[in-house]
Structure 1
Amino acid sequence: MAASDVVLAYGDTYRDLHHPAVIIAGSFALVAVVLSLYLILQHLRSYTNPHEQKWIVAVLFMVPVYAAESIISLGNPRLSLVCDILRNCYEAFALYSFGSYLIACLGGERRVVELLENESRNQLAKPFLDGAEEDQQVHQKSFSNFFFRPRVIGKDLLTIEKFGLVQYMILKTFCAFLALLLEVFGVYGDGEFKWYYGYPYITVVINFSQMWALFCLVQFYNVTHERLEHIKPLAKFISFKAIVFATWWQGVGIALLCAFGVLPKEGKLQTALQDFLICIEMAIAAVAHIFVFSAESYHFLPVSEYGKVTTETTKETLTVEEGNEEKPAVLEKTETQVKAPGTRITESVQDIVLEGGQRVVEDVVLTINQAVGPMEKGVTKIQETFHLKKTDSDDDHEESELEVEKHVEQHLSENDSHPELQV
């Protein structure tokens, strides 16, 4: 069979399978969206712990975003790249939100810093109790400890974890829009592992960034998982990590199969297969989230922390007949009310958008400053080095000029003392 016949056969297969695939994927996407929005609504109606639930809602919203963009891309392949960019951007934000959720469950950043510092002191005290002599400060700041003994680096673990998540959020967004720009100029080559296309280079950068972000999250989880037992962190961690890994490596795997000729490249089959599988996977993830991120634990308001108790006492005077006499009586009635802050949906959404957005911006700015700071110090050090070298060279030049002047003056003085040598 000629190559043209194979291409036509693949094209006919894609056209025959496209319509039923859209119907099947649309059904799964609808289930995913409905279940996820229902669970999100439950959290918004029982918005009793804003510090945790704002990040839960952000993580849960990942499923309807993925499902909606995938079915749109499957139905209209011309929008596949735009949908993929939006999906990638929200994936990066969802990973950041999951890390922020773990920090909120531990009591906030200040409480996490105290926890990590206590863990560090306990770990570093063991060698000294055993009689070993070590430099505690050097031992604590060793970069290798982040890989092998993350408990000993203290509050620096929180800094590294936040930096890892935010750098992925920044790089993922930047690479997504860079891919759109390269596609406009026709040099992106979606799914093409060729050196003159931008796809393989962007894939390598995103892959490294994602692996580093997830590794930072794993290290943070390994140190704090005992303090997170009340939220059953393993199930949450696996369910979220499965979505991130499944969608990313699934796309890379399909691209590799197409590159090696196992799957055909024609007819947008690669992108369509990825979108079809994501729709099915999001329905499964939505069902899992109902059990993993349930809102039942937030239905009851902790009065001592989040509620305001008010009492109201009312008195009424009544007349009681005793025999032939009427005597006044006083009836007291006391009502106790618990006021729950931010339990209305409008207030919940406002808190998520404003407070959550402000937190994201602050962390992004902090991460950029942390990345730029060492570069500025390096540039400053280089400038100081050049300045010192230039100063030394100027001093040497001035000294040489002084020596020349002294030599000339000495020569003139010798000529003055021997006039017979002058012409």
Structure 2
Amino acid sequence: MRYDVVLYLSGISTLISVLLSTYLIATNFNKWKIKSTTTSTNILIIVLMAPIFAIDSFVSLLELEEGEIVAHLLDMFKECYESITLHAFLMLMYSLLGLTKDMIQGEKPIPDEMKGRELHVPFPLSLFMGKDKHPKLDQKWLQKLRIWTIQFVFLRPLLSTVDILFVDHVIPLHNEHVTSIIKLIVTISLNVSVTTAFCALITFYHAFEHELAPHRPLAKFICIKGVVFFTTWQGVILKLLGHFGVLHEGYRFSLDEIELAWQDLLVCMEMAFIFSPLCVYAFSNADEKVKEIELKEQKVAEKEETKKTK
């Protein structure tokens, strides 16, 4: 496929993704009539994931001839944003169930109907649970699940930086054995970190699946997990296609650049025609839910104020 055609298709796809996300945000904010709440902030972070990935891939295509370092830097940005969305999704589930920051931090008690709910920690983290295979939800566990996601937010940029500096030879080590060891450590650390974060999401979702059902949590989760799944595995497939000669270098670009170009084009199109529309569906009723949450929080505040006056 010609390079100008690839740019045209990816540009149109990126524009569609941006327009869909802009429409969703504009209509939600017009209904909310608010500018800053925990819920709306987390919704924004998740909704912006698709257009950010599309823009990132489109810029990568524009800079294709600059080399792999530019592509890796752009990938690093996407991966770091992915870690933020995982934490935002957990915080969104918390807020949708009326859990406030004070409750999570232990300054206020959690609702009685939530306290003591049995948790099912998925494999492989369940292997490290000891005798307490099915703990009960309390404030300590709310904090623990939050830590499980936020650690990925901090580790992802660190690991990506190490990967670019040493594995991609920005800082040459002149020792392939050391480079291989660093790459192995980064890969293992990254997989442990992201698995821990996903386990936190699954643990909380499983415990409150019924209560979360009206909020379409599965569709929201697919908005995040689907993006990660597609971008990761199609990259592997493209590498295999290059290895077996299905993809080959051209007169202008190397094989690696051809693979990166196909990856970026597919990401742009997937964001436009799969994940941005999915976000519109998943968050189309978010405005009513935010109002419900705010009313609950207002009632709780009024009760506390009444108790103080008495």
Q: What does residue 278 of structure 2 align with?
A: 288
Q: Return the letter of the residue paired with 2:227.
A: I
Structure 1 residue 205: deviation in Å?
Answer: 2.7
Pick aligned residue for 2:77 from 86, 108, 116: 86
CA distance in 1 between partners of 2:13 and 2:225 (Å): 21
CA distance in 2 between partners of 1:187 and 1:113 (Å): 55
Q: Does the alignment pair 1:52 with 2:39?
A: yes
Q: Does the alignment pair 1:72 with 2:59?
A: yes
- Give the number of the structure whose alpha-carbon radius of gyration is greater: 1
CA distance in 2 between partners of 1:76 and 1:293 (Å): 33
CA, structure 1 residues 119+54, in 2 after alignment: closer, same or farther (shift >3 Å)? same
CA distance in 2 between partners of 1:54 and 1:39 (Å): 14
CA distance in 1 between partners of 2:221 and 2:234 (Å): 19
SS in 2 for 1:101: helix
Q: What does residue 12 of structure 2 align with?
A: 27
Q: What does residue 96 of structure 2 align with?
A: 105
Say whether the 8 Å CA contact 1:113–1:155 is kept in structure 2.
Answer: no
Q: What does residue 145 of structure 2 align with?
A: 161
Structure 1 residue 65: deviation in Å?
Answer: 0.8
CA, structure 1 residues 226+48, in 2 after alignment: closer, same or farther (shift >3 Å)? farther
Say whether the 8 Å CA contact 1:58–1:97 is kept in structure 2.
Answer: yes
Pick aligned residue for 1:119 from 95, 117, 120: 117
Structure 1 residue 112: deviation in Å?
Answer: 5.2
CA distance in 2 between partners of 1:186 and 1:19 (Å): 35
Q: What does residue 306 of structure 2 align with?
A: none
Q: What does residue 243 of structure 1 align with?
A: 227
Q: What does residue 203 of structure 2 align with?
A: 219
SS in 2 for 1:118: coil
CA distance in 1 between partners of 2:21 and 2:150 (Å): 25
The alignment's C-alpha RMSD in Å is 3.5
CA distance in 1 between partners of 2:239 and 2:179 (Å): 15
CA distance in 2 between partners of 1:205 and 1:251 (Å): 20
Say whether the 8 Å CA contact 1:164–1:213 is kept in structure 2.
Answer: yes
Structure 1 residue 153: deviation in Å?
Answer: 5.6
Structure 1 residue 268: deviation in Å?
Answer: 1.1
Q: Which has the higher strand share?
A: 1
Structure 1 residue 174: deviation in Å?
Answer: 0.8
Say whether the 8 Å CA contact 1:43–1:53 is kept in structure 2.
Answer: no
Number of paired residues? 268
Unmatched 5+ residue regions in structure 1?
1-15, 124-141, 308-423
Q: What is the CA deviation profile of residues 247-280 of structure 1, one whole-angstrom value per residue up to 9, with x for unaligned ones? A: 2333344445556766557251222222111111
Q: What is the CA deviation profile of residues 145-179 of structure 1, one whole-angstrom value per residue up to 9, with x for unaligned ones? A: 77x535x3644432332122111111111122223
Pick aligned residue for 1:272 from 251, 261, 267: 261
CA distance in 1 between partners of 2:11 and 2:212 (Å): 37
Q: What does residue 305 of structure 2 align with?
A: none
Q: Return the letter of the residue paired with 1:242.
A: G
Q: What is the CA deviation profile of residues 99-148 of structure 1, one whole-angstrom value per residue up to 9, with x for unaligned ones? A: 11001111125265755533259x9xxxxxxxxxxxxxxxxxx81477x5
TM-score (norm 1): 0.55
Pick aligned residue for 2:171 from 160, 185, 192: 185
Structure having greater relative contact order (Cα 8 Å, sep ≥ 6): 2
CA, structure 1 residues 25+301, in 2 after alignment: closer, same or farther (shift >3 Å)? same
